[in-house]
Structure 1
């Protein structure tokens, strides 16, 4: 199987072409594509052929080949590596009798790998969030640092022996969802659940469903609270939706805060088809990709309109629950 670095060297242009996605405008060293993540009439996805990097100007997402596969398929890092290994194997077999496995080193994934003695992602240390780069990462997303520190940790990890650090959000398999400015990954892929103050083990009144932990933290920041009253399920990946649907059957009412894109809408519809009382909250941040983008815009407006004389603002009460 291919290594992490080898996967990122696979041509983004060629991979997109294999999915019948071609540039609307090709400028030789870069191409402009219609974003495969949503309906896009303006060709807002740029692929730099020389650097083999992409950026979606419509959502401000971007990154490497692996980031693209994770984003376009809603995959975890492990799933993306498996996809690129299959793709690479097909490409090599078309042009060479030597298999991709013979040409590359093995890649394994901590938490879900078959060879757990040589994990690609290994957690080294779990600390309170103190590193300024991670605080800046959260601040740029307008997430309350105090709230983030309550739910997240500073995770030091290694990838193929190289040290890195990121904001880590714990999941129910005792793994971590990892986020930093250049990186999106995980040590294992599982949902995250929290029990709210209003729900007990015998009474399952309502549950809030979020796509990612930044949306969950954005919700708490908007509500100006550290503890949700309702139970919470954070999917961490839409691939975890079947697990969440099974858990949601116990609740009288479900509130979904998923992304305003096609995958998010399909996921919401899937929940509605299996539960009699689903309230889609995405209309409250219509016009924005997700709840975090709505938070960023709201905070920027408040800061721009902030009067010279300090006025204490009331907590945001726009979202119910």
Structure 2
């Protein structure tokens, strides 16, 4: 691997591999306790999209290689060797996992080739079809190029708590590892629960905000609910945005069984399969000529 490829290695994933996690995670950046000095204020920022870091306490920053040099207090050549070793072990072991695909066949063992900023026109067009704000999507998602069955593919990637990715494009829905995604905030009261990341992006688009002020849990599948319950119990107020189907209702009941205050927000999009279907429908209505608009407006979206 050359220097450019080594600097593309996710700083967030590298730190997580060392047991270092963000104190605050805003989705597109995280605030960490500095790993190379005493830091009670969590003053090191990692920009996930640019894959750069800056320690405000020591006024240092840079690339992935710069961080390895600083953490290990080592020269450039040693940092290169460290990252090459890391790339061949931890990363590859992590991404070469089974991926399930909602098609007539499935991929078994995919390999991530590159993780970068979301820019592919086909992926952008897919998000536009789903009425997702592109700037918001770029803050929370990555463009993943991967290989499977000796073929190369690309998809929108949404990182989960295992440092894997939920993968989505117009024809494919899968993941590199099955886990939930948690975005923590300073809010100690409320937590929002979404079934999938497209629903989360739909919420942000509807609200026209870059990130939620509340804590957020994206299940990435109702099958991951058990992993989320211990986190939901720690918040006094839970707001749920799950699909309007039997699985969504069952998951909502399970959350209600362990949490004191639960508000099911699916009533706001009761006539639709999920929050994204509601977003698409309302966006289409807004684009109609005035003469074709329905007499009664659609119900407003709250919280």
Aligned residue among 162, 166, 183 for 2:155: 166
| Matches of 1:226 and 1:109, distance apart in 2 | 29
| Matches of 2:288 and 2:250, distance apart in 1 | 36
Answering whether residue 258 of structure 2 is matched by residue 274 of structure 1, we say yes
> 1:109: Cα distance to partner?
9.3
For residue 171 of structure 2, give the secondary structure of its aligned residue in structure 1.
coil
> 1:239: Cα distance to partner?
1.1
> 1:178: Cα distance to partner?
0.2
| Matches of 1:180 and 1:112, distance apart in 2 | 19
Answering whether residue 302 of structure 2 is matched by residue 319 of structure 1, we say yes
Answering whether residue 197 of structure 2 is matched by residue 208 of structure 1, we say no
TM-score, length-normalised on structure 2? Answer: 0.62
Does the 8 Å contact 2:256/2:262 carry over to 1?
A: yes
Does the 8 Å contact 2:97/2:110 carry over to 1?
A: no
| Matches of 1:161 and 1:110, distance apart in 2 | 15
Over 3 Å counting, the alpha-carbon distance change for 1:262 and 1:306 in structure 2 is same
Does the 8 Å contact 1:123/1:158 carry over to 2?
A: yes
> 1:179: Cα distance to partner?
0.2
TM-score, length-normalised on structure 1? Answer: 0.58
| Matches of 2:212 and 2:289, distance apart in 1 | 29
What is the number of equivalent residue pairs in this alignment? 196
| Matches of 2:161 and 2:94, distance apart in 1 | 17
Aligned residue among 90, 110, 127 for 1:121: 110
- 1:101-180 to structure 2, matched below 5 A, reads 110=95, 112=97, 120-180=109-169
For residue 179 of structure 2, give the secondary structure of its aligned residue in structure 1.
coil
| Matches of 1:172 and 1:215, distance apart in 2 | 18
| Matches of 1:251 and 1:277, distance apart in 2 | 9
> 1:209: Cα distance to partner?
0.1
- Please give the per-residue CA displacement for 1:188-238, whole angstroms capped at 9, x wherever unaligned: 111001123x41xxxx21100000000000000000000111000000011
For residue 239 of structure 2, give the secondary structure of its aligned residue in structure 1.
strand
For residue 273 of structure 1, give the secondary structure of its aligned residue in structure 2.
helix
| Matches of 2:301 and 2:259, distance apart in 1 | 25
Runs of 4 or more, structure 1, over 4 Å off, are: 108-113
